[in-house]
A and B are shown apart, each in its own frame.
Chain A
């Protein structure tokens, strides 16, 4: 039975689509306390006094907590394997508030109205400081965002507290100045990217209660159950043995829920009161008080010879980690890690800069995790270089891009295992009609242009991400798959079963999957870093292979034939020589009855020394109105190399969704703060995510490669798909009207001003 490569519908699809109660808030019980958070109205201040007496006296209020009532141990909310690279710079509640929205007090009451009314009764006196609101002047600003003496790093990340530097990073190979001097052409450009919001439809929410043993149970919309367990143990100063984290169905994550944003608040209420508690963030809270993509500013220099061979690349700049350093060092690293290896004819490269603290919304993980920003700045510069040299943008890439078995300066010595990127470019060119449309077609006051970009990502974090899987043959002859990965709508539970069913040659109906529950699941870092198909998938495949051997060993005893001669065919083990069979069900039943038997199960762990990159070639066709600067996206073509496509329908939708999220970042999602540090783009009325009429046509094709280290040759698809729209659309606009947009998002004003300046 072949399951890999088939468009199997998601196993939970019909249930979730028809509104069954399967998400965190649906699982709360009567009597659950409602938790609300008092948030700072100031970007940077110290709490001089806080008076909660009136709130505590209110009927229905069960718990009011301030910084005086919580453990004073710093931790990070970043969901990363221990030891986390992110600094421990948080307290549950801190006497210093560092951005508008930072938590000041926790209130729990019998219902939402009471909790909100109690918030109004809390009186706080603040000593307000001058906030740090500008990324480019954050370093050595007179205000120090983290003046505390107990901030902790697990290992050196180049943090300099007094200078507002959260982390520092340098990768340098070869003599950059000398190589640039040898280049025939050197182009230079400065870019800014905005703090895009993840904007998943289900906001942050968690539900907590004490179980029969008095343990804290946390049901949470999270991508990282095991990391949340460890974070809570540290933040609440209780042993991890006292905590169980369960992930039900999740209404989207996109990286937002790779940070333990809200779990700690109901958790501490439940510990203090003994009662069930829940927190459900409003949309505004989700915008102003969680995390977003790190905003960046970069300067890029790129040099090439006349024939278009790129010899030197330099990317230098800053990322804005906001008030807390969650994911700061790692996102900064990924900006270079997942972009610079693409162009491997280089003789010298330099990637350098800092993540800096400001008094704004903290940075975090958002699909792409830095590669999106890196792709925008590098690919925009490659397009500029191609224009300068008079070479077709597709040709310059075909000449310079890394191929299978080649190495790059960035990944010294590591050979690229699989790539069909050159084929992706050829296919995309043909689909968009590049040769007929490049660079522009004028139609009166409107001009159409095409542009393109390429990108890579990873598949899991090399040498860090390690996932385990267990598969059991149950007494009734069906299988249970236990994993700790966190399907957030992607369909990972389904594709993991496709892999297991393929190996065990059985119907998918014979499998159940349990994911994720820290009391039950084998360890998995969670679903992030494009890891689940590749890392957890390989663990599932290895466990299934081991279980297959064990089943055939038992069959060999019954059939009196060597195990390696037998075949597993659905519900039967077959000896092709004799034609004799024994059913898997009878082996399963016999395994659980009587002495000297053992239930058949297999356990496997997988971690990889490499993070095989998936690739995308993205092509945009836009129409620019010369009278208004309005850009209409007509067509977007994405050609994807994710290795073997495990489930074409799900991979296609992942790609379409990622492309549209990238289109949002390119054209619509504008982040605006006022002068006091209030995030003004804090609702879907002020922060526009793409609606269904905004995106033109998105077309997707796959050019399969075979990744030798991946399950069935698969790599990843979740993140890589968001990276190309911004640089491809910006290039299409340039090719249409000659205006280079270097600051996202593109707006009609910027395009119009650009055209005015040109003429």
Chain B
């Protein structure tokens, strides 16, 4: 089916299958930060924003997001890099495979929550799994980022 998708503020005229998921559409258009890690909608690797809110693109049908603003990490590189530098200073990107989805959720949280507690942060990020870091360094990086300290 033909549709137009607004991805990172550009309009893409696409021909997608009715059962095509947004993650596949995005990868096919070269947004290679989008990864699938679980096939059961529970790892958070494929997180993008739909109208600014984090959404799992692996289980979002592409046709359903026509007319909405889709943002991938490619579309917010300066802010993503700012947090990534803090994350890397903690060594807490490790393999980096879950990082894009994680960073999309962290930045969405920063935009959405005012002065979140540690529990708020854990709750907001509950859907982002990481097998490398054990999460402690991620939390240190998030706190530094939210305090607005420059690395």
Closest to A282 in B: B39
Complex contact A660–B135 (CB within 8 A): yes
B2 shortest CB reach to chain A, Å: 19
Check: A71 CB closer than 8 A to any chain B CB.
Answer: no
Contact between chains at A17 and B39 (CB < 8 Å): no
B133 touches A18 (CB 8 A): no
Cβ contact within 8 Å between B97 and A656 = no
- Interface residue ranges of A80-116 to B (CB < 8 Å): none
> Is residue B126 within 8 Å, beta carbon to beta carbon, of the partner chain?
yes
Encode contact with B along A169-185: 1 for CB under 8 Å, 0 otherwise. 00000000000000000
**Closest approach, in angstroms, between the C-beta of A254 and any C-beta of chain B?**
7
Cβ-based interface call for A340 (8 A): no
Complexed CA–CA distance, A691 and B45 (Å): 14
Segment of A541-549, A578-586, A646-654 engaged in the interface with chain B: A646-654
Across the interface, do B126 and A9 meet the contact criterion of CB distance under 8 Å? no
Q: Which listed residue, B73, B91, B128, touches A18 by the CB 8 Å rule? A: B73
| A661: B residues at CB distance < 8 A | 131, 134
Determine whether the beta carbon of A692 is less than 8 Å from that of B32: no
Q: How many residues does chain B have at the interface if contact means C-beta atoms less than 8 Å apart?
A: 49
Taken together as a complex, chains A and B put the C-alpha atoms of A254 and B134 apart, in Å, by 14
Comparing B8-16, B59-67, B81-89, the segment that makes contact with chain A is B81-89
B52 at the interface (CB under 8 A from A): no
Knowing A18-B103, A199-B131, A656-B133 are in contact, say whether A489-B125 is a contact too (CB < 8 A). no
Cα distance A661–B136 in the bound complex, in angstroms: 13
Chain A residues positioned under 8 Å from B96 (CB to CB): 12-13, 16-17, 249, 251, 489
- B95 within 8 Å of A by Cβ? yes
Interface residues of A in 684-702 (CB under 8 A from B): 684-685, 689-693, 695, 697-698
| A17/B130 in contact, CB under 8 A | no
Bits for B123-145, please: 1 = Cβ < 8 Å to A, else 0: 10110111111111111000000
Partner of A19, one of B32, B40, B130: B32
Judge if A14 is at the interface, Cβ distance under 8 Å. yes
Chain B residues whose CB sits within 8 angstroms of the CB of A250 once the complex forms: 95
B146 touches A (CB below 8 Å): no
Known pairs A252-B97, A653-B134; A17 contacts B129 (CB<8 A): no
A649 in contact with B39 given A18-B73, A684-B129, A692-B122 (CB within 8 Å): no
Let me know if A284 is at the binding interface, CB within 8 A: yes
Within the assembled complex, what's the spacing in Å between the Cα atoms of A218 and B80? 32
Cα-based distance from A491 to B85 in the complex (angstroms): 15
Q: How many A-B residue pairs have CB under 8 A?
A: 177
Contacts of A697 on B, CB cut-off 8 Å?
136
A7-B91, A9-B85, A10-B91 are known contacts. Are A698 and B40 too (CB-CB below 8 A)?
Answer: no
Q: Report which of A18, A657, A659 forms a contact with B80, defined as CB distance below 8 A.
A: A18
Q: Is the CB of B90 within 8 A of A649?
A: yes
Contact A9:B91 (CB < 8 A) given known A201-B130, A698-B136: yes
Q: Does A147 contact B (CB under 8 A)?
A: no
**B32 — nearest CB in chain A belongs to which residue?**
A21
Specify the chain A residue showing the minimal Cβ separation from B94.
Answer: A489
> Which residues, 666 to 708 on A, are CB-close (under 8 Å) to B?
683-685, 689-693, 695, 697-698
Question: Could you pull out 21 A-B pairs where Cβ atoms are within 8 angstroms?
Answer: A14-B88, A17-B100, A19-B80, A21-B32, A198-B131, A199-B131, A200-B95, A201-B35, A201-B132, A250-B95, A251-B95, A252-B95, A653-B90, A653-B91, A654-B91, A656-B137, A684-B38, A691-B129, A692-B135, A692-B139, A697-B136
- A interface vs B, CB < 8 Å? 7, 9-10, 12-14, 16-21, 23, 25-26, 198-203, 249-252, 254, 282-284, 488-491, 647, 649-650, 652-654, 656-661, 683-685, 689-693, 695, 697-698
> Which 4 pairs, one residue from A and one from B, show the smallest C-beta to C-beta distance?
A19-B33, A489-B95, A16-B96, A251-B97
Task: List residues of B whose CB falls within 8 A of some A CB.
Answer: 32-33, 35, 37-40, 42-43, 45, 72-74, 77, 80-81, 84-85, 87-100, 103, 122-123, 125-126, 128-139
